[in-house]
Structure 1
Amino acid sequence: MAVPTISRRTFVKTMAVGSGTIAYLATALTVHGAGPEVYTLRIIHTNDHHARIEPVFSGNNPVHGGVSRRKTLIDAIRGEGGNQLLLDAGDVFQGTLYFNQYRGLADLEFYNALKYDAMAIGNHEFDIGQGPLVDFARGATFPLLSANIQVDRSSPLAGLIKPWVVIWVGGQPIGIIGVTTEDTPVLSNPGPGVRFTNYIEAVRLGVASLRRDGVNKIIALTHVGIQADRELARRVDGLSVIIGGHSHTPMGPMINPPDPNRPYPEVIASPSGKPVIVAHDWEWGRWLGDLTIGFDANGDVTRVVAGRPTEVRPAIDPDGGFENRIRTFRGPLDQLRATPVGETRVALNGARADVRSKETNLGNLIADSMLAKTAPAGAQLAIMNGGGIRTSIPEGRITLGQVLEVMPFGNTLVLLTLTGAQVKEALENGVSQVEQSAGRFPQVGGMRYSWSASAPAGSRITGIQVSDGRGGFVPIDPNASYRVVVNNFIAGGGDGYSVLQRGTNKVDTGFLDADVLVEYLQARSPVNPQVEGRIVQDGVLPGVAGVAAPAPAPVETPAALPRTGGESLPAWLLALAAAGAIGGGLRLRERAARIAAASERETVEVE
């Protein structure tokens, strides 16, 4: 079939009319005004791997993914020859027990063996500080890129991150510029000595530098999300391709049911009207991105030769060497995975799109566990950021490994006092970026709220009711004080919850959130949590007779306690720690180590 040809003026005009035109152009594009095609480049790409060394499972059945099958596909593609690059757009860290145990170094072994050419740094690379990223960077056989991360000499990351790199492929220099989301200090824990600048200005600077050096084919390898990538394409001249991640965006055949308005790749007009090719590869190694692009002698895109991402299906033969190494790495994890901690009569929904946009039964379960643990200390309300819920749990037996994969960050519970007005401010922050699937979306306990998706951010909360302690709800009193339990990440302002930093009488309990959920499951299994109207979108909360009742007086904890040798803690906290089967002082890993090993495959419900 002949490839359609359009003028650059027509290209710019049609790009403005909607995504349907983008879909058509993305599948077969030749731009009039570009010179004769003299070079083609095939880009194989992944993003948001999140420690998914093994396949994604539904129950006991592998659905897709896994690095051993990824290797089989990559080897086959390399066998076809031609000019190729293998790129990753960041967030290799965090998401399974492999990260809990090996802190990225198991993933690094496979990435080195796959011979990646470059990787962008994602926000999750900083989840437990700079140390694991330092170890990863020192061991990597490929460059780690981010042009908008500025590292002080005092940081252990000094000298380990490159802003961009030039790789020669088929006799041609290819410039690759990395960028990382500017929200990383809010989303993760980069620590001192690392600063994140504007990603668009960083790319613009990189393009100018590379162009001065004679490089005219430039790829932005980004971890900023699809909306930011589109904006980057529209605002910066000189880019040829954007390979992105962060938003976990499926494209083209990755979408089921098919949607012709969401193609792989997208084509977006730059400020000068030249096409910029934009591609994402969803998440977790479910698919392998595969894009071939033609260029003229000036480095302008002539056409999308092929956009053919491949699903990493279970039917693909796994690489034997990788499978052997996975078995070795998996050994210490099997005992942890297999330890039973409870049972659920329903599937627990931790799907990324759901926990970041609406009430889910798993969100309710987690919030309730937080509240139950700290209620003896006066906790009345619980707020859990949806981004802290990383996967689902199928119906049936629940293992320790599954809990740790749902809540892998090792956060602790923090108690603080907020006014009703501050609770509303926290919820406003939580629903302010739903359109971007931001992790700040609030799952709640001890209260319910309504919000309007059409209202401007900051004015979306339309009602809040708090539990009256007798099975009913009353409107929140903006002037009353409420004792609220959250995790230490958002208590410190993470996910935009700066209002929590203004809370008073803060106590970090030391209780790990995963420990608390395990204790709750052990005490109440089988559990059967439901979606029960705690979060109402574009509607109203049930009416409550009477006026707002003042909140019960919260149990206050002195800001400073006398020291008599060692760390002093409130008496209620010591009592809870002693009473709990796991408590804050007994870590899950230590407990599991004392339980007889029982091999069991990882199970992760497909989102």
Structure 2
Amino acid sequence: MLLGLAAAVAAGGCVVNEGEPIDLGGQEVLLTILHSADIHSRLLPYDMQVGAVDRRLGLQQDNSPFGGAARLAYLVRRERGRSGRVLHIDCGDPFQGAPIFNFFEGQVEFRVLSEIGVDVMVVGNHEFDRGGPNLARQLDDWARFPALAANYLFEPSAYSQNDLARLVRPYVVFNVQGLRVGVIGLGDTSSMFSIFETGNRLGITPLNAETVAQQWVDFLRPQVDLIILATHQGLSGDERIIRNTEGIDVVMGGHLHIVLDPPKVLYDCQNAELRAERGCTPRPVILSHSGAFLKYLGRLDLVLRRNPSDPRNGFEVVSHDYTLFPVDATVPEDPAVKYLLEPYEIRMEQVVNLDRLIGYAPNTVRRFGSTGGDSALGNLVADSMWLRAGIETDFALTNTTGIRSDLNPGPVTVEELFNVFPFDNTITTMFLSGLEVRELFDYVARRTASRGCSSQAQIAGAQVVLNCRGCERTGGLPCAESIRIGSGENLREIVDDGSYELATNNYLAQGGSGYVMLRRNTTQQDSGIPQRDAVIDRIRGGGPCVEPRACDDDGDCGENQVCACSGRWRWNDTSGLCQDDGACAGPGRCVLASCVEEVADLYLERVIRPDEDAEPVACDLRNHAGLECAEVACVDGRIGAAEDARIRAYLP
């Protein structure tokens, strides 16, 4: 560990805004920290269903769409103007989660963060999704801020990582109008360790977060007035670091998309061995998390005062206040960032039609199961892989964390499927023995147990029971109690010497997320079929939400349905109203009323010009939407988008 620290010291941190010293003794000092994290490429506003937690935090469905970097920029600049001493800290994962990353590989994210004026960023895990050299190139070309990860040791043998060793620093010191603020960064380690048992292909050795944090605190403490730890370790990781270190004043975190409002106040120096070794006395530490996907901007206001009885610790936080700003349609857009994004939006539309209608979801299709087992969206994804022409294996398995959001009710477009499935994973097949299938699902059980007994895999062509407590067979570790392969009448318990063909994604096949039993398999065949495309094909192969039924008027249709036909809705120039004839002069089809409204709204957003009267256009689009809804595929249980207890996870 000392070697790791020595190497990092050689690489060095940096001092920003160094100027003439200012005597702050004997006065209270105010510092504002603006906090973002886990942007995941949501640089453009997006729609979502607002849940109970987000409603409590201030998001309202009527203020859709949400997020957007131009709105964040407006809030950041407004809040900077309201305060004297301000730092904006981003806690990692600006990459991966929307099409703009798939097309431009991080260039846009770093350009936007630089334009917004982020002061410092912690390196997360998705920054490496296009490899270390890509991260180094994007940082070098576009980032006008330091990137931190004190707990990453770059291996000299990994020649392609030399740039990262130069670009990623352990810490930065800011002189904020005389207040010396040291910011130490800790990157994600769980994903690093999960790729391989020892080391990883990135040429980076993750170091123990608590040990590294304490060493850098000790190094910086005599030089600064305040120490902020910026992390991508997740809530439990941050709490563990605080308990087992001393000298940190504030922790700003990310990784698990959690919002802490208000922030937690925890005490450091909780380890008896630490107290005995260092003679420390527990001090309060503020812990803040501000969520993900640009739904919020956090503002933490600190009141600081020098503690003359403990000069080693510089200033102490004597009080704090926290404000969480929703990023929604009520927030104006910053023109500079909006202008920056426009050419990228145009380029994406030229390459692929992101607005193309794939299907219609009458209800939310959720990525997590209601009982901790299989989920509606997970079953749709796994079925799409399992039943894909040219694949058609015995069973399929994909990781739950690879599905990044629910499928919202309403029109399902290519863009939304990029948001739900941002990773460009392909389907890989391989043959496993019965013993290997058991090893695979035992590992799924262990991962599931570590995540609150919520299944970390989604499957098709199989049924499993996951015991999150443990079995005698596995020495008390979580295990798969029952594994059956097949479907319907052909569902059979596995036999150890049997052979079973699996379809999975290439990330898991390469050992991602700790699936080392798949990485060592020598029968792998990468089909080259993108997982996202398989889902699109599965949806498009489904039927409409309403069984085909001819109609003359709405009375011929069921509840919440209308009779759709060409020319039913006509704009009346005299009255200035959209006239609904209520009946069809020609053949009509029964469709969901909500489908007509929402598909028409979708098209209106895409075709209306700022200077054009929207109402006549909207009226005509209702006719077009009605005909679309008669044919477009329905995302429901008929194509597998429903829970069916194929996975049961329980804690005895």
- Note whether the superposition's TM-score is higher than 0.5: yes
Partner of 2:242: 233
CA shift, 1:377, in A, is 5.5
Q: Distance in 2 between matches of 1:182 and 1:420?
A: 32
Cα distance change on mapping 1:355 and 1:211 into 2, 3 Å: farther
Cα distance change on mapping 1:188 and 1:309 into 2, 3 Å: farther
Q: Distance in 2 between matches of 1:431 and 1:405?
A: 27
Unaligned 5+ runs, structure 1:
1-34, 253-262, 541-607
Q: 2:646 aligns with which of 534, 539, 546?
A: 534
Cα distance change on mapping 1:384 and 1:71 into 2, 3 Å: same
Q: 1:391 aligns with which of 378, 391, 405?
A: 405
Q: Distance in 1 between matches of 2:202 and 2:78?
A: 43
Pairing of 1:311-322 with structure 2 (within 5 A): 311-322=326-337
Partner of 1:191: 201
CA shift, 1:187, in A, is 5.8
Post-superposition Cα deviations, 1:480-502, rounded to whole Å, max 9, x if no partner, equal 22111111111111111112124
Cα distance change on mapping 1:372 and 1:447 into 2, 3 Å: same
Q: Distance in 2 between matches of 1:356 and 1:145?
A: 39
SS in 2 for 1:401: helix
Q: Distance in 2 between matches of 1:78 and 1:452?
A: 51
Partner of 1:205: 215
Pairing of 1:452-601 with structure 2 (within 5 A): 452-455=467-470, 458-468=477-487, 470-524=488-542, 525-528=633-636, 529-538=641-650
Q: Are 1:343 and 1:527, in contact at CA under 8 Å, matched by a contact in 2?
A: yes
Post-superposition Cα deviations, 1:408-439, rounded to whole Å, max 9, x if no partner, equal 22112111122233223222322434454799
SS in 1 for 2:153: strand
1:172 and 2:179 matched: yes
CA shift, 1:504, in A, is 4.2
SS in 2 for 1:316: coil
Aligned AA (1:141):
R
Partner of 1:578: none
RMSD, matched Cα: 2.8
CA shift, 1:334, in A, is 3.3
Q: Distance in 2 between matches of 1:348 and 1:188?
A: 32
Post-superposition Cα deviations, 1:569-598, rounded to whole Å, max 9, x if no partner, equal xxxxxxxxxxxxxxxxxxxxxxxxxxxxxx
Cα distance change on mapping 1:178 and 1:363 into 2, 3 Å: same
Q: Are 1:371 and 1:445, in contact at CA under 8 Å, matched by a contact in 2?
A: yes
Partner of 2:343: 328
Partner of 2:127: 125
SS in 1 for 2:169: coil
Q: Distance in 2 between matches of 1:112 and 1:188?
A: 31
Q: 2:304 aligns with which of 285, 295, 298?
A: 295
Post-superposition Cα deviations, 1:236-269, rounded to whole Å, max 9, x if no partner, equal 11111110101111222xxxxxxxxxx4244333
Q: Distance in 1 between matches of 2:175 and 2:235?
A: 27
Q: Are 1:389 and 1:406, in contact at CA under 8 Å, matched by a contact in 2?
A: yes
Q: Distance in 2 between matches of 1:429 and 1:447?
A: 16
Partner of 2:149: 146
1:220 and 2:229 matched: yes
Cα distance change on mapping 1:177 and 1:354 into 2, 3 Å: farther
Q: 2:166 aligns with which of 159, 164, 167?
A: 159
CA shift, 1:275, in A, is 0.9
SS in 1 for 2:328: coil
SS in 2 for 1:277: strand
Q: Are 2:391 and 2:503, in contact at CA under 8 Å, matched by a contact in 1?
A: no
Unaligned 5+ runs, structure 2:
1-24, 50-61, 271-280, 307-312, 543-632
Post-superposition Cα deviations, 1:443-464, rounded to whole Å, max 9, x if no partner, equal 0010122223444884243322
Q: Distance in 2 between matches of 1:406 and 1:466?
A: 28
Q: Are 2:406 and 2:420, in contact at CA under 8 Å, matched by a contact in 1?
A: yes
Q: 1:340 aligns with which of 332, 350, 356?
A: 356
Q: 1:366 aligns with which of 377, 381, 389?
A: 381
CA shift, 1:39, in A, is 2.5
Q: Distance in 2 between matches of 1:413 and 1:513?
A: 6
Q: Are 1:429 and 1:440, in contact at CA under 8 Å, matched by a contact in 2?
A: no
Post-superposition Cα deviations, 1:79-137, rounded to whole Å, max 9, x if no partner, equal 11222110000000000011111111111122111111100000000011013311221
Larger radius of gyration: 2
Q: Distance in 2 between matches of 1:112 and 1:355?
A: 41
Cα distance change on mapping 1:201 and 1:115 into 2, 3 Å: same
Q: Distance in 1 between matches of 2:385 and 2:215?
A: 46
Post-superposition Cα deviations, 1:493-532, rounded to whole Å, max 9, x if no partner, equal 1111112124342212222212222232333343422111
Partner of 2:79: 77
Partner of 2:629: none
Cα distance change on mapping 1:488 and 1:164 into 2, 3 Å: same
Cα distance change on mapping 1:113 and 1:342 into 2, 3 Å: closer
Q: Distance in 1 between matches of 2:302 and 2:149?
A: 24
Residue-pair matches, total? 492
Pairing of 1:416-431 with structure 2 (within 5 A): 416-431=430-445
Q: Distance in 1 between matches of 2:266 and 2:415?
A: 41
Post-superposition Cα deviations, 1:122-153, rounded to whole Å, max 9, x if no partner, equal 00000110133112211211100000112234
Cα distance change on mapping 1:339 and 1:187 into 2, 3 Å: farther
SS in 2 for 1:128: coil
Q: Distance in 2 between matches of 1:356 and 1:93?
A: 31
